[in-house]
């Protein structure tokens, strides 16, 4: 009923799980991420103890395969379980019980485990692996979503579509540096959840991405910003204070830079002003 990819990024700073399923709110059940220990997916009559117990095993020094072996051995329902683990060192393991509904199976490689059950066929897993490995120049979250989308477009869950989720973590990578969860996006009930997940990722990148370049708040740049802010009702004569107020309303605080502006923010405010 589910297909997922569990992975660690190439530089060993992020761990993530992407999942899709004909199941309500799969993101509330399947994925777990605990940097720098690893990431886990539990599915097919999911045993959610695999998350807490699996992380405890990894933290105690077990490899991904060792931890998964212990989890499976102690589970009376193992024949109907499916799980994938990637540990802190990027070692991967996957398991599919003998009674998981066809088609069911998984693959592993350096830094990733891909698995699925009740799929239209093994080519779903193959498509996910190919997509993940071919997008090595993209950001980690983009690669995970590309794998999920490839599996979905290859037929995915034989029963149809309902939910999708993306959970990514890294030490101190959360909002304001206050947590280890960098991204936790869920589409709980949708006719095309993997595509909708991509839309949410775009919003997340806008709101929480770091500026790639900045423009000094002077000359024509300052004039453009002033016009946009005035049009939107942020007419404080102090330009930076007006910008801070607008950014607070639009949740763009993570992109603010003293004395300068992120071109993404400027374009967003100008577009907003045009539509006002």
Residue 93: per-residue pLDDT: 98
pLDDT given for residue 30 in this prediction: 98
Per-residue model confidence (pLDDT) at position 5: 98
Predicted local distance difference test score (pLDDT) of residue 253: 92
Asked if the model's pLDDT at residue 48 lies above 90, the reply is yes
Q: How far is CA 125 from CA 8, 107, 116, 120, 267, in A?
A: 18, 7, 7, 10, 39
Q: Is the pLDDT of residue 207 over 80?
A: yes
pTM of the predicted model as reported, rounded to 2 decimal places: 0.93
Please compute Rg for the chain using Cα positions: 21
Q: At residue 142, does pLDDT exceed 80?
A: yes
Long-range contacts of 188-193 (CB under 8 A, 24+ apart): 188/24, 188/25, 188/27, 188/28, 188/163, 189/24, 189/25, 189/162, 189/163, 190/161, 190/162, 190/163, 190/164, 191/161, 192/161, 193/20, 193/161, 193/162, 193/163, 193/164
Q: What is the pLDDT of residue 83?
A: 98
Per the prediction, the chain carries an average pLDDT of 96
CA distance 90 to 85: 9
Strand ranges across the sheet with 92-96: 31-34, 38-43, 82-87, 92-96
CA–CA distance, 93 with 113 (Å, rounded to integer)? 6
**210 has pLDDT over 90:** no
Which three-class secondary structure state does DSSP give residue 153? helix
Indicate if the pLDDT at residue 103 is higher than 90.
yes
Output the pLDDT for position 177.
86
| Band of residue 138 on the pLDDT scale cut at 50, 70, 90 | confident
Return the half-sphere exposure (C-beta side, CA atoms, 13 A cut-off) of residue 272.
20
CATH (one of 2.130.10.10, 3.60.20.10, 3.30.70.20, 3.40.50.2300) for 2-208? 3.60.20.10
pLDDT band at 175, cuts 50/70/90?
A: confident
The CA-based dihedral angle spanning residues 75, 79, 80, 83, taken in that order and rounded to the nearest 10 degrees: 70
Band (pLDDT 50/70/90 cuts) for residue 122 is very high
Q: Where do the H-state alpha helices sit in 135-233? A: 140-153, 193-208, 219-231
Question: Residue 92: pLDDT above 80?
Answer: yes
pLDDT digits (tens, 9 = 90+) for 12-45: 999 999 999 999 999 999 999 999 999 999 999 9
Confidence of residue 118 (pLDDT cuts 50, 70, 90): very high
Q: What is the mean pLDDT of residues 54-79?
A: 98
% residues pLDDT > 90 (the chain)? 95
Give me the percent of the chain exceeding a pLDDT of 70: 100
Tokens of 174: 């959360």
pLDDT-derived band at 135, boundaries 50, 70, 90: confident
In angstroms, the CA 217 to CA 160 distance is: 51
Specify whether the CB–CB gap between 85 and 95 falls below 8 A: no
Q: How many angstroms separate the CA atoms of 39 and 17, rounded?
A: 7
Residue 233 has a pLDDT of 96
Half-sphere exposure of 220 (CA within 13 A, CB side): 1
For residue 168, give the 3-state DSSP assignment.
strand
Give the C-alpha separation, 34 to 51, whole Å.
Answer: 10
């Amino acid at each position: 009923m589910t297909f997922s990819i569990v992975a660690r990024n190439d530089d060993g700073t992020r761990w993530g799980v992407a999942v899709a399923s004909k199941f309500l709110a799969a993101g509330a059940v399947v994925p777990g991420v605990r940097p720098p220990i690893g990431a886990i997916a539990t599915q097919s009559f999911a045993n959610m103890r695999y998350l807490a117990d699996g992380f405890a095993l990894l933290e105690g020094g077990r490899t991904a395969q060792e931890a998964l072996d212990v989890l499976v051995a102690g589970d009376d329902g193992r024949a109907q379980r499916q799980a994938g683990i990637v540990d802190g060192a990027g070692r991967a393991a996957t398991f599919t019980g003998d009674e998981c509904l066809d088609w069911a199976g998984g693959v592993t490689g350096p830094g990733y485990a891909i698995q699925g059950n009740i799929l239209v066929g093994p080519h779903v897993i193959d498509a996910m692996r190919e997509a993940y490995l071919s997008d090595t120049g993209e950001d980690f979250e983009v690669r995970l979503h590309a794998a999920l989308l490839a599996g979905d477009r290859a037929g995915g869950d034989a029963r149809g579509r309902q939910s999708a989720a993306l959970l990514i973590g890294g030490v101190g990578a959360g909002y304001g540096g206050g947590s280890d969860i960098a991204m936790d996006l869920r589409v709980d009930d949708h006719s095309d959840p993997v595509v909708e997940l991509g839309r949410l990722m775009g919003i997340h990148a806008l709101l929480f991405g770091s500026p790639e370049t900045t423009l000094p708040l002077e000359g024509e740049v300052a004039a453009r910003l002033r016009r946009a802010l005035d049009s939107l009702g942020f007419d404080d004569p102090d330009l930076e204070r007006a910008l801070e107020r607008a950014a607070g309303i639009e949740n763009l605080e993570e992109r603010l830079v003293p004395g300068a502006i992120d071109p993404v923010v400027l374009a967003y405010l100008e577009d907003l002003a045009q539509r006002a």
